[in-house]
Amino acid sequence: SRKGSALVRDIHEKQSMNKSRQRFWELAGSKLGDILGVEKTAEQVDADTVKVGEHGEVDFKEDAKFAQHMKQKGEAVSEFAKSRSIEQQRQYLPIFSVREELLQVVRENQVIVVVGETGSGKTTQLTQYLLEDGYTRSGIVGCTQPRRVAAMSVAKRVSEEMDTELGDKVGYAIRFEDVTGPNTLIKYMTDGVLLRETLKDSDLDKYRVVIMDEAHERSLSTDVLFGILKKVVARRRDFKLIVTSATLNAQKFSNFFGSVPIFHIPGRTFPVNILYSKTPCEDYVEAAVKQAMTIHITSPPGDILIFMTGQDEIEATCYALAERMEQLITSTSKAVPKLSILPIYSQLPADLQAKIFQKAEDGARKCIVATNIAETSLTVDGILYVIDTGYGKMKVYNPRMGMDALQVFPVSRAAADQRAGRAGRTGPGTCYRLYTESAYQNEMLPNPVPEIQRTNLGNVVLLLKSLKVENLLDFDFMDPPPQENILNSMYQLWVLGALNNVGSLTDLGWKMVEFPLDPPLAKMLLMGEQLECINEVLTIVSMLSVPSVFFRPKDRAEESDAAREKFFVPESDHLTLLNVYQQWKSNQYRGDWCNDHFLHVKGLKKAREVRSQLLDILKSLHIPLTSCGMDWDVVRKAICSAYFHNAARLKGVGEYVNCRNGMPCHLHPSSALYGLGYTPDYVVYHELILTTKEYMQCVTAVEPQWLPELGPMFFSIKESDTSLLDHKKKQKEEKTAMEQLRSEKAEEARNCSSRL
Ligand code: CDP
Ligand code: MG
């Protein structure tokens, strides 16, 4: 593109200015600032950290010399780690130097908090130390992670360190995937998995020690586990709990468990030079790409880590980087050093994720483009340059929409510092912040807001209720969620029929708890039982639990769109998913068939696995597998019964409004209902995606009469008025609050039903 060649020209111009080996920054002045998109104040500049050649062209040999020099100084150790045996690597980690003291503190205390910089060895070593100290003789060591990717990659690493097959002595479990066996002694898992295990075994008897890792992340499940494990600690004298945190505000964790000891692992980090942008940056993808190219061309060896907010941006960044590299190669006669561009985000297939840990082919510089997953939960050695956009995606409950939405927010100062720290693990590094210093000081929060205070608590409420926590407002939360959030979530569960009028679980609610699914999906599945189409609904729920199976390469967009259209069921995206799965099945689940039809075979295989696991749960509940054959209207009804809170009414071409709150919502161009000349008056949707507009994701046409039939509390006010309140005062607090909420919601419903 034009932009790419302009960048190359800029860089060349800059080089030609740089006749003598004077200070890079001084010489280039503001022009360099323009190229880099960053500003550097004079005293922060270390001339030695930025190098360019003498003769108007980039001289890469200079870089090699510089690296040599760094090595002699004994500072550039990025290559060091790679050449040592695994045993040597283990002993080189900061945690190793305090192994004995640490184990002693563990022996003497039931609960401890361990604080250490990211990369000090907490996640990979603690479990092994406990095993070596004999704890696994009477139970297993569990270690929770807020992220699936971390649980998988760390288990793999530890199984290598222990020279055992993954799934044997060391295993992992994430939702819908259990890679552990009868021999497993060390189990990594997501915090959500351990939380669900407390349902079956409230004392967690098989665990001798639980490590709650990455506690500073304050994920929803970790926060709930805090309250639950505190009780386990009180009941089981033989149980040990270790809470680890990468940041220093660990006092809070210690206080929560009764002022337990805090153990500090001494850090071993190098200074990181922090450079701020001089002006707020308009397009941070573009700015990051420029910055990365500039580093690649002008700076000494060392890998680059870029923080973006999500998959789309990461893909765009990788694409642009590849494009610029290609242009650079064609526009210069010199050999251009290789750049290995590696994306990482949670939905990326596992084999591609593993690539970031592998050594790049010789001489290539790695450029990892990541979400905040690389902030603390994944450690990649060799990073010397960090480019921080200053943004991240956060799930936030939006009361107006009555749902969680992933939204882009500025990260906190603590997170920004973590990001910068990633550059100083193997040598002195540099962090380029694509925001101003004033934004850092004045606009960023000091710490992130815990998830429990900002998201929908539907699942948590269901789970705690099934654990017989009668009054949620009394539960021992480290930071209690706003009362309004709890009540809103209770209200949603009541609407779905999972809670009764006094806030206890109904029969349906008890069954819903069994499924590791969001409450509406669990409800949809169980309505399949009632409507005798569970086989079909099961497939839809499984397909909704995996990333989109439609493959849409940028260079073959039209072709792939045409392929997708062939699967369309005009009245429903849900049924379209069902159709795809059923056709795949009748083609013997073949991979080549998927490729021919622009479908991700991995996604479909995953859906098949999920399906079989959900089927096992159905069997255990003695729910028979009924089918409606090809009469799919009844399937739409099951969908409607779970998603009537997301009902929308036609307003204009492709434009709908939410029946409850009047929010505008649009048909997405990729929907089966889009542009086919068929626009039903009423639809329900799976979720709302906020991009340029509010788009409904996965839409199904519904008959208007289904809404009052299946969602009487929203769509027929008379019935809900008489059935809502029972006057026995079982949970006084909850009930009064529910009542207040009810009247607000009834008002909402009244408005809505009058529109209907
Ligand atoms: O948990 P903490 O951040 O303290 O460190 P860790 O995850 O135990 O990582 C310690 C070291 O193990 C890292 O510096 C990496 O060198 C290595 N590691 C790895 O090679 N592959 C992984 N998947 C995880 C860690
Ligand atoms: Mg860790």
- 123 falls in which pLDDT band (50, 70, 90)? very high
Ligand 2: distance of its center to the CA of 150 in Å? 8
Q: Looking at per-residue confidence, does 41 or 606 come out higher?
A: 606
What are the E-state strand segments in 207-285?
Answer: 207-212, 240-245, 262-264, 272-276
Query: Across residues 342-349, what is the average pLDDT?
Result: 86
If one residue of 157, 368, 425 were mutated to test the ligand 1 pocket, choosing by the most ligand atoms within 8 A of its CB, it would be: 157
Q: What are phi and psi of 643, to 5 degrees?
A: -125, 20
User: Does residue 491 have a pLDDT over 60?
Assistant: yes
What pLDDT score does 360 carry?
80
User: Does residue 753 have a pLDDT over 60?
Assistant: no
Query: Which ligand is closest to the CA of 126, given by its number?
Result: 1
What residue has token string 């059923």? Answer: 582
Q: What are phi and psi of 343, to 5 degrees?
A: -80, 150
User: Rounded to an integer, what distance in angstroms lies between the CA atom of residue 748 and that of residue 751?
Assistant: 5
What pLDDT score does 284 carry?
93
Report pLDDT digits (tens) over 359-402. 888 779 999 999 988 888 777 888 999 999 999 988 887 655 56
What pLDDT score does 738 carry?
55
Ligand 1: distance of its center to the CA of 123 in Å? 7
Query: Which ligand is closest to the CA of 80, given by its number?
Result: 1
Ligand 1: distance of its center to the CA of 430 in Å? 21
User: Does residue 741 have a pLDDT over 80?
Assistant: no
What pLDDT score does 80 carry?
45
> Residues near ligand 1 with C-beta < 6 Å?
81, 93, 116, 118-125, 153-154, 157, 357, 379, 381
Ligand 1: distance of its center to the CA of 260 in Å? 26
Report pLDDT digits (tens) over 240-289. 999 998 876 789 999 999 999 999 998 877 899 999 999 888 899 999 99
Ligand 1: distance of its center to the CA of 667 in Å? 44
User: Rounded to an integer, what distance in angstroms lies between the CA atom of residue 505 and that of residue 465?
Assistant: 7
Which residue blocks in 272-356 are alpha helix, DSSP H? Answer: 284-298, 311-331, 350-354
Most confident of 15-29, 567-581, 698-712: 567-581
Decide the pairing of beta strands 177-179 and 170-174: antiparallel
What pLDDT score does 29 carry?
29
Ion ligand 2: residues, CB < 5 A = 122-123
What pLDDT score does 362 carry?
77
Query: Across residues 288-317, what is the average pLDDT?
Result: 94
**Exposed (0-12), middle (13-18) or buried (19+): which is 466, by Cβ within 10 Å?**
middle
Residue with CA nearest ligand 1 atom 15: 379
User: Does residue 38 have a pLDDT over 90?
Assistant: no
Distances (CA, A) of 138 to 141, 184, 239, 700: 10, 13, 10, 52
Report pLDDT digits (tens) over 153-197. 999 999 999 999 999 999 999 999 999 999 999 999 999 999 999
Q: Note whether ipTM > 0.90 here.
A: yes
Ligand 2: distance of its center to the CA of 228 in Å? 22
Average pLDDT, the chain: 82
Query: Across residues 88-101, what is the average pLDDT?
Result: 94
If one residue of 79, 124, 381 were mutated to test the ligand 1 pocket, choosing by the most ligand atoms within 8 A of its CB, it would be: 124
Query: Across residues 115-134, what is the average pLDDT?
Result: 95
Report pLDDT digits (tens) over 692-733. 788 899 999 999 999 989 988 777 633 333 333 332 333 455
Residue with CA nearest ligand 1 atom 24: 154
What are the E-state strand segments in 352-470?
Answer: 365-370, 383-388, 391-398, 403-410, 429-433
CB burial readout 16-40, b (16+ within 10 A) else e: eebeeeeebbebbeeebbebbbbbb
What pLDDT score does 726 carry?
34
Query: Across residues 543-559, what is the average pLDDT?
Result: 90
- 535 falls in which pLDDT band (50, 70, 90)? very high
- 37 falls in which pLDDT band (50, 70, 90)? very low
Residues of the chain with pLDDT > 90, as a percent, come to 57
Angle ∠(704,707,708) on CA atoms, nearest 5: 110
User: Rounded to an integer, what distance in angstroms lies between the CA atom of residue 245 and that of residue 130?
Assistant: 18
Query: Across residues 624-630, what is the average pLDDT?
Result: 95
What are the E-state strand segments in 598-748?
Answer: 647-652, 655-658, 664-667, 682-690, 694-701
Q: Which two tokens stand for residue 75?
A: 């500072």
Among 399-413, 415-429, 671-685, the minimum mean pLDDT is found in 399-413
State the amino acid at position 242 in one-letter form: I
What pLDDT score does 484 carry?
83
- 737 falls in which pLDDT band (50, 70, 90)? low
